[in-house]
Structure 1
């Protein structure tokens, strides 16, 4: 007859107070003890409750669903990543996130696949689905508990579940609203970029990316143009988090920073987590995120070409890092110039002076950024750099398509 785990208080203390390293002998030993006591894995549901409690604490410390999933993917196995998504889904059910959470929270849940109905016995169901031994499952539960418990405090950009309010619902945009226009534009842009990333033909990918970038650049400028009644469009400041994966996280962050700076978006990032906070006007945030994704793809293709041209079978880490840094610097310069040209062209077409509106928008972004991150400081890398890689990256960036030709989204 199978035995069960000890009472919840013992298991909770074990999971939320212990320090279980992925490669540690202590985690292996304790997993074996738990497997002997509960070979079915979490027969009482105590582990699920403890992990959900750890998630709730993470929300209070500034974390959002996508942040947690990103960090677990970086630190643990793909099986553990599936477990944390299942836990996030159960937390969403318990908190009624679908109807009460801020829109950005709901969108993250949707992207993670965490809005689907599951089972309250999360850990036990996960163990059955994965088909691993009880010892392996308990070890991953121990490691996940430590990962969640030791998450550092982040800046609170979105209210956590404890502050959503009973029965609170998000306002939905009506037909013909600015949100409706933004959504329509983003659907077209995302579709183009998805095709660009999936095609096996470089020329087709370049053409699709160029078209997407043309739409993004003009859309960002259109948001400050007055409407037909002479009233400027709304320019509310928003925040967003972008997650950057290994390898070369620092160099990729430089590319993100270059794209953000060229589009009037402020950025601060958590160096050890691969998480960046963006502050800017919603249309500019969309442009930055999508341009960054596109340019990462182009940079990867350009790096492969540079390696072949240099006769390298496998470029060194320093060469690749320097290439991305050089690429980022040059792309930032090109984007800044392109943005200035697009602004001048739009102003000439409409016969209006956009400088006051743009200055007011940037002041609003800067004020919001300072309010959110009053203690942030700028840093500059002092590490040595592969000169050949840096200049190869700058040269490659001259061929990156940043949407030189602007078109309306009409």
Structure 2
């Protein structure tokens, strides 16, 4: 006989076994065959919400758990995860209590769009999801079991923002006029979106160059307006989620962009998550440029495969192409950084009578200090695996054609 106590014990104490897709599917088949109703009395919802609370306390944020659910339990688990996050946000009054970054992630996931459950169904999020998705009982059980395993076994991460247990009292979030920096970022995003959608390479290059010029000016102006002391520099940390395939190669590209902009990167290989540490304006710039380069390299890879007559299933060629592309992009950005430092320093001295170099050094020192504080035991790593030579050199050649204009000043 399967009762609530047995099921609750299974979900809480045997979670590591549930992370295995085969084991979860086998148990789901048994539960379905025995006609066990899916969350009839809310025990599954209560268990999953409790697991979600524990995950927050271990340093995870809404976008992190959505990424982990998709990666480990499959895309079919994401709607259930979002429904649970939405219910947690409703119960915790996240909109008026959570940090701004947390609320932004909720909005991006669509967790603020769902209507709250009503009446007696308020505790049965899983049952409501099952009715909406109309999945076969065995598949629904498999998703619930595997998602429980993902949440229960989530590793401890560095705490970048306060978890719900540390949120303060509700507060009003008054609408405010867009700051100059917000307006600049909107213009940058708009230019890159046009660059990525146009079919004309010359237009894409011009739009991307203009976006990079705005990013550079935005960062330099922020550096000159600051007080120049580490305590007055706004250093932040945020996570970037890298999906398979070729997550490691994509991380190499992200690392190249980050290093050229004075941002530090720490990579959780087993999770497909990278943490970036840097001045906020620089983090925004790195994410924007990285996203644009990802789209560019995808187009370049497809063209290289067509030209070489290679089949799309050639994983070794694709991986090597991405690594070669990332390596050459890093070289180009490093050279641009050296040139831009000299040009920006000369311009600041001539036009403002300011010495830019000490300001940039202070910003970098603040970034290094924050990285050491968050990751005191981190160590440098380097990939030693072999790569396909043809793919590597094809990737480097594509990087030569990438829209990365010389910067007037480093984003440090």
Q: What is the root-mean-square deviation of aligned Cα atoms in Å?
A: 2.5
Q: What's the offset of the Cα at 1:292? A: 0.6
Corresponding residue number in structure 2 for 1:72: 69
Task: Verify the 8 A CA contact 1:86 1:118 in the aligned structure 2.
Answer: no
Task: Verify the 8 A CA contact 2:21 2:146 in the aligned structure 1.
Answer: no
**CA distance change for structure 1 residues 270 and 201 in 2, over 3 Å: closer, same or farther?**
same
**CA distance change for structure 1 residues 13 and 168 in 2, over 3 Å: closer, same or farther?**
farther
Corresponding residue number in structure 1 for 2:128: 125
d(CA) in 2 for partners of 1:174, 1:131: 42
Task: Verify the 8 A CA contact 1:217 1:403 in the aligned structure 2.
Answer: no
Corresponding residue number in structure 1 for 2:346: 348
Unaligned 5+ runs, structure 1 = none
**Offset from partner CA, 1:160-195 (integer Å, 9 cap, x none):** 11111233677x79547xxx1221111112222333
Corresponding residue number in structure 2 for 1:11: 7
Question: Which of residues 128, 139, 142 in structure 1 aligns to 2:142?
Answer: 139
Task: Verify the 8 A CA contact 2:19 2:146 in the aligned structure 1.
Answer: yes
Q: What's the offset of the Cα at 1:405? A: 6.5
Corresponding residue number in structure 2 for 1:55: 52
d(CA) in 2 for partners of 1:191, 1:80: 32
**Offset from partner CA, 1:236-292 (integer Å, 9 cap, x none):** 100010011111111110111110000000110100111001100001000111111
Question: Which of residues 247, 250, 260 in structure 2 aligns to 1:249?
Answer: 247
d(CA) in 2 for partners of 1:131, 1:174: 42
Question: Which of residues 269, 282, 303 in structure 2 aligns to 1:305?
Answer: 303
190-199 or 319-328: which moved more?
A: 190-199
d(CA) in 1 for partners of 2:186, 2:2: 49
Q: What's the offset of the Cα at 1:327? A: 1.1
**CA distance change for structure 1 residues 72 and 26 in 2, over 3 Å: closer, same or farther?**
closer
* Partner SS for 1:225: helix
Q: What's the offset of the Cα at 1:6? A: 3.3
385-394 or 369-378: which moved more?
A: 385-394
**CA distance change for structure 1 residues 235 and 173 in 2, over 3 Å: closer, same or farther?**
farther
Give TM-score, length-normalised by structure 2: 0.88
Q: How many residues align?
A: 395
**Offset from partner CA, 1:49-71 (integer Å, 9 cap, x none):** 10000001111111111010011
Q: What's the offset of the Cα at 1:26? A: 6.1
Unaligned 5+ runs, structure 2 = none
Kindly report which structure 2 residues correspond to 1:197-216, keeping only aligned pairs within 5 A, or say none: 197-216=196-215
Task: Verify the 8 A CA contact 1:259 1:335 in the aligned structure 2.
Answer: yes
* Partner SS for 2:276: strand
* Partner SS for 1:277: strand
Corresponding residue number in structure 2 for 1:221: 220
Matched, 1:165 2:168: yes
**CA distance change for structure 1 residues 222 and 37 in 2, over 3 Å: closer, same or farther?**
same
* Partner SS for 2:238: strand
d(CA) in 2 for partners of 1:72, 1:326: 30
Task: Verify the 8 A CA contact 1:62 1:155 in the aligned structure 2.
Answer: yes
Give TM-score, length-normalised by structure 1: 0.89
* Partner SS for 1:388: helix
Q: What's the offset of the Cα at 1:21? A: 4.7
Q: What's the offset of the Cα at 1:203? A: 4.7
Task: Verify the 8 A CA contact 2:337 2:407 in the aligned structure 1.
Answer: no
More helix by share: 2
* Partner SS for 1:24: helix
**CA distance change for structure 1 residues 25 and 199 in 2, over 3 Å: closer, same or farther?**
same
d(CA) in 2 for partners of 1:12, 1:169: 38
